Structure 1
Amino acid sequence: MAETKFVIVSFDGLRPDLIDEQQTPNLFRLKKHGTTLASQRTIYPSETRTAFPSLVTAGTAAVHGMVGNKFVDRGASPQRYIDTADAVLLDRLDRESGGRLMTAPTLGELLARAGKSLAVLATNTPGTTRLFHHKAEMFGHVRLSGHFPEACTPKSVLDDAVARFGPLPPVPPAGEPDIDAQTLITTVFLEYLWPERAPDVTVISYGEPDTCSHLNGTGAAATRKVIRHCDAEFGRILDWWEAEGRANGVQIIALSDHGHITAHTRVSVAACLSEAGFHPGTAPVSGVDVVVVPGQVGALYLADRGRKQLARLVGALTEFPWVGPVFTAPGDEVEGVVSGTFASSLVLANHERAPDVYFAFRADDRRDRFGLVGGTFYDSSRSPGLGVHGGLHPKELASVGIVAGTAFLSGGHVSKVPSGICDVVPTILAALDMRPVSGMTGRVLSEVFATRGAFAPPPVSSTEVFETRSGNCLQRVQRTRVEATVYIDGGWVEATEIAAETTEVA
């Protein structure tokens, strides 16, 4: 009997509703082979370098501690601003913390303890590539970037890949589809990694269409071009799987880390806080009383963390027409320590590294110029009309989930039971006859296993809606619970009049 192995293929930022027979015929083909997880979603914040740690730890930000693409490290003296796109910095932080960069064991560590291997091939940022398996060096496991030598290990594998397939391609100019690197990592898997090493689990992470969406728009021609290209590269993997891999026990999981919605109205968080009497900055330095972490996730770190200053900040924030749900440290199971805010634990984001205030930008269901549902306020130098993510709109949280192989129900089965990115590792461990570890918030997707799913009743799910009010601002968060596992459906505020001076792109 063939030994069970897994290939996880990720499409960064791909919305599930962009999969169809014309644009993504190979993902569509995979759906026919296996089971589609029709209610798959990601975590909050819905950012790449929070979601992928959730993939490999089976835990939310509250578990693994990667609380955003960027955050303030309060454990350092002096405090410092961290951009997790930097692979060299992440390596240094892990060593300085005694191996506590992530505060939960990862899939690579668990496999290594069992004498198994994890390999990573990725075209994301160097930091993202490292976060898939940040301790690969310890175990001699493969981690290869399609662009960045500093994210690669061991050096002998990088040298072999360069000797056989040529130098790592440069990152293309801003806005151009990243084509060559997706082809390279696919080729490395098919012609080198699998034939010569056959890892127990392989992660193949295409860094597109995320970058193209950010710089062109989620439905733009350039974005659709790179979606088609990534799907074609995946088609090469699927051809191999149909011809060889499936018969040799390989299971395929296709996923994305988050979706995208469209930025329609630009604001400046820092400017608005300045007008409210604060002294904001992007780093914790003298004279800055609140650090505004750049990006689509609202993350505010106070110099004075006292309750009075925190309440003052929340009071100012909830007056702005661009602010969605607001979160502070838990006061109880629902509300934060400041009245009118939600507890960060409600969205499973409470961690010692978490900001004093999280907030999501206010989002809506308007359609963009490509006909895609989902729009939002945003804070960046980019033009309106481009793709963003990080918040609580259902289209940001919705993610791709397809499983196929002898372990899973086949023939185009569709599971409507809620599932999430944290469920991937528990499901893999179960298929490999390995025990999950304590602290994992994900669950085993037993309903889609071929041996049990056809006979076991589907897990019981229930929907929970929570509300809190600050002044005239009514906030809602909706979650779905499947037995003990919690999934975030979305977060909203009560519709209010939008300021007349704002601009939008239809």
Structure 2
Amino acid sequence: MNSALRFLIVSFDGLRPDLVSPDLTPNLCRLRFLGVTLSNHRTVYPSETRSVFPSLVTGATTNQHGMVGNKYVDRSVAPQRYIDTADAVLLRQLDLESGGQLMSAPTLGEILAASGKSLAVLATNTPGTTRLFHHKAEDFGHIRLSGHFREACTPDDVLAEAEARVGPLPPEPPKVEPDTAGQDWITSTFLEVIWPKDRPDVTIFSYGEPDITSHFHGTGAEATRGIIAHCDRQFGRLLDWWEAEGRAAGVQIIAISDHGHITGHTRVSVTDSLRDAGFRPGIAPAADVDVVVVPGQVGALYLADPSDEQIGRLVATITSEPWCGPVFSRAKNETEGVAPGSLGNHLVFADHARAPDVSFSFRADDGVDPFGLLGSTFYDNDRPTGLGVHGGLHPKELAGLGIVAGSAFPAQGSVSTIPSGICDFAPTLLHILGIAPPESMSGRVLHEVLEHGSKLAPNVRSEAFKARLGSFRQVLRRVHVGSATYIEGGTAVG
């Protein structure tokens, strides 16, 4: 353990690991040569950005930290309200209203601050995502900078210095245009302002691409490949700095992605299907709404009357549809949900108080998309077919990039095939720094890649859970490494 070490966590939002290649991402490939590749690495369910990044900073699954989706229904107040976590100002308000309980598990920023250490954030994601990396940064005087959104930035004097040296915050580009300016701004700001002046103990650095471009152009489209290459070039600037200066200063690099993308092949309307079945659906709680259909690629259904009978009726309705994939409801026993045909939501760690009454993934398969990439699915949004989506349980949605490099990870150029996940980075980082992780962390320390870690192969155990209703059949697959559990994928037919 070495409390003098520092960490730089660099995220590429929505980057599929199978798009990392010498021609497209030479700098990420350079990092692979310098470090250890986690080749069996996964994210959490739902595979949505504002569930996954809270798992990064809490080292815990969604049932622990409470960010159950990009959007959710808040039932802790009357009247109930619809929450979109993309709104940084709203997230601050919710944290203050709840007495600091926006997230129901301690975060990396809080843990580091309690040990006299600092966490800095630089990100080009939505304002809410940027805040969720360190939602209490202003309470500790820590740095949190957005590449576009002033409302997500703190403190004011650091933002002012960055704008004076690097240039004004670039405006957010239209969704259909790849975001190059934001990635350039945060890279230059770290190299020219944050590191020289502040030298944070931990920095989370998040490129918000290729996620947006994949959503609006496709998983392997020319524009998507172009922004991947651009982000890799910016990362190359960080890597050049690391090799010239950062490594000697004890900086460890962790490169990640929060999820992958698959391709939407058929557009559907969950709301229309429920209305046809006699429900009164809506996108937010209201007197004339008996089921809230939260917008997004992960199905999140909140009933006005969440009785076992109504949950069963809802599950029977959606499992009769060709677009319905794996379905979860509150647990009836160790495996089953209260609704026939469903699995218990605890199996995918979706059993938080904010969780929907019924959650589901759209039915996905291993179809090859027009770009030659595996994975296709039904989807429910207003965009045309053939574009990237994520949130569900296809293995390509759950697959994440994972590369670690630095003095704490000495086996340069090696590959670890032992299953790992995004919840593992925080406990591993704290272990290296000699800080005890809180009990809420469900991730594990990655001993197998550490300098003085155990080289004994850990106990790995796989399992599968099945449920059926009529012709509908679903399977959920998980794998255990010691006490840690990772979701491998879920499928449904019928």
Matching of residue 19 in structure 1 with residue 12 in structure 2 = no
Q: CA deviation at 1:173?
A: 1.8
SS at match of 1:248: coil
Q: What is residue 123 of structure 1 aligned with on the other side?
A: 124
Instruction: Give the distance between the partners of 1:173 and 1:287, measured in 2 at CA.
Output: 35
Instruction: Give the distance between the partners of 1:275 and 1:307, measured in 2 at CA.
Output: 21
Deviates more, 1:326-335 or 1:200-209: 326-335
Deviations 1:372-406 (A, max 9, x none): 00000000000000000000000000000000000
Instruction: Give the distance between the partners of 2:484 and 2:156, measured in 1 at CA.
Output: 40
How do 1:387-402 and structure 2 match up within 5 A? 387-402=388-403
SS at match of 2:247: helix
Matching of residue 37 in structure 1 with residue 42 in structure 2 = no
Matching of residue 488 in structure 1 with residue 487 in structure 2 = yes
Say whether the 8 Å CA contact 1:280–1:289 is kept in structure 2. yes
Q: What is residue 289 of structure 2 aligned with on the other side?
A: 288
Q: What is residue 344 of structure 2 aligned with on the other side?
A: 343
Instruction: Give the distance between the partners of 2:351 and 2:16, measured in 1 at CA.
Output: 27
Q: What is residue 500 of structure 1 aligned with on the other side?
A: none
Instruction: Give the distance between the partners of 1:437 and 1:232, measured in 2 at CA.
Output: 37
Say whether the 8 Å CA contact 1:251–1:404 is kept in structure 2. yes
Q: What is residue 318 of structure 1 aligned with on the other side?
A: 319
How do 1:307-456 and structure 2 match up within 5 A? 307-453=308-454, 456=455
How do 1:166-315 and structure 2 match up within 5 A? 166-315=167-316
Deviations 1:406-445 (A, max 9, x none): 0003321100000000000000001101111112100000
Say whether the 8 Å CA contact 1:408–1:448 is kept in structure 2. yes
Deviations 1:357-379 (A, max 9, x none): 00000000000000000000000
Instruction: Give the distance between the partners of 1:312 and 1:469, measured in 2 at CA.
Output: 15
Q: Which amino acid aligns with 1:493?
A: A
Q: Which amino acid aligns with 2:411?
A: S
Q: CA deviation at 1:337?
A: 1.4
Q: CA deviation at 1:3?
A: 2.0
Q: What is residue 501 of structure 1 aligned with on the other side?
A: none
SS at match of 1:334: coil
Q: Which amino acid aligns with 2:456?
A: P
Say whether the 8 Å CA contact 1:2–1:249 is kept in structure 2. no
SS at match of 2:365: strand
Q: Which amino acid aligns with 2:461?
A: S
| Amino-acid identity (%) | 63
Unaligned runs of 5+ in 1: 497-506
Deviations 1:271-323 (A, max 9, x none): 01011111100010011010000010100000111121111111111100100
Q: What is residue 156 of structure 1 aligned with on the other side?
A: 157
Instruction: Give the distance between the partners of 1:472 and 1:101, measured in 2 at CA.
Output: 41
SS at match of 2:331: coil
Q: Which amino acid aligns with 2:129?
A: T
Q: Which amino acid aligns with 1:391?
A: G
Instruction: Give the distance between the partners of 1:190 and 1:301, measured in 2 at CA.
Output: 45
Q: Which amino acid aligns with 2:462?
A: T
Instruction: Give the distance between the partners of 1:136 and 1:116, measured in 2 at CA.
Output: 12
Q: What is residue 479 of structure 1 aligned with on the other side?
A: 478
Say whether the 8 Å CA contact 2:252–2:404 is kept in structure 1. yes
SS at match of 2:426: helix
Q: What is residue 48 of structure 1 aligned with on the other side?
A: 49
Q: CA deviation at 1:172?
A: 1.1
Say whether the 8 Å CA contact 2:315–2:340 is kept in structure 1. no
SS at match of 1:109: helix
Q: CA deviation at 1:2?
A: 9.1
Q: Which amino acid aligns with 2:425?
A: V
Q: What is residue 460 of structure 1 aligned with on the other side?
A: 459
Say whether the 8 Å CA contact 1:310–1:338 is kept in structure 2. yes
Q: Which amino acid aligns with 1:215?
A: F
Unaligned runs of 5+ in 2: none
SS at match of 1:9: strand
Q: CA deviation at 1:460?
A: 1.2
Instruction: Give the distance between the partners of 1:338 and 1:271, measured in 2 at CA.
Output: 22
Instruction: Give the distance between the partners of 2:304 and 2:192, measured in 1 at CA.
Output: 53
Q: Which amino acid aligns with 2:466?
A: E
Instruction: Give the distance between the partners of 2:294 and 2:269, measured in 1 at CA.
Output: 12
Instruction: Give the distance between the partners of 2:480 and 2:474, measured in 1 at CA.
Output: 20
Instruction: Give the distance between the partners of 2:394 and 2:417, measured in 1 at CA.
Output: 19
Instruction: Give the distance between the partners of 1:374 and 1:306, measured in 2 at CA.
Output: 35
Task: Using structure 1 for the length normalisation, give the TM-score.
Answer: 0.96
Say whether the 8 Å CA contact 1:2–1:247 is kept in structure 2. no
Q: CA deviation at 1:165?
A: 1.5
SS at match of 2:425: helix
Q: What is residue 499 of structure 1 aligned with on the other side?
A: none
Say whether the 8 Å CA contact 2:328–2:344 is kept in structure 1. yes
SS at match of 1:10: strand
> Which of structure 1's runs of 4+ aligned residues deviate more than 6 A?
none
Q: Which amino acid aligns with 1:475?
A: Q
Q: Which amino acid aligns with 2:185?
A: L
Instruction: Give the distance between the partners of 1:129 and 1:185, measured in 2 at CA.
Output: 12
Instruction: Give the distance between the partners of 1:166 and 1:452, measured in 2 at CA.
Output: 44
Deviates more, 1:332-341 or 1:316-325: 332-341
Say whether the 8 Å CA contact 1:2–1:248 is kept in structure 2. no
Instruction: Give the distance between the partners of 1:337 and 1:369, measured in 2 at CA.
Output: 40
How do 1:50-65 and structure 2 match up within 5 A? 50-65=51-66
Q: How many residues align?
A: 493
Deviations 1:89-128 (A, max 9, x none): 0000000000000000000000000000000000000000
Superposition RMSD on alpha carbons, in Å? 0.9
Task: Using structure 2 for the length normalisation, give the TM-score.
Answer: 0.99
SS at match of 2:370: coil
Q: What is residue 84 of structure 2 aligned with on the other side?
A: 83
Instruction: Give the distance between the partners of 2:29 and 2:321, measured in 1 at CA.
Output: 43
Q: Which amino acid aligns with 1:489?
A: E
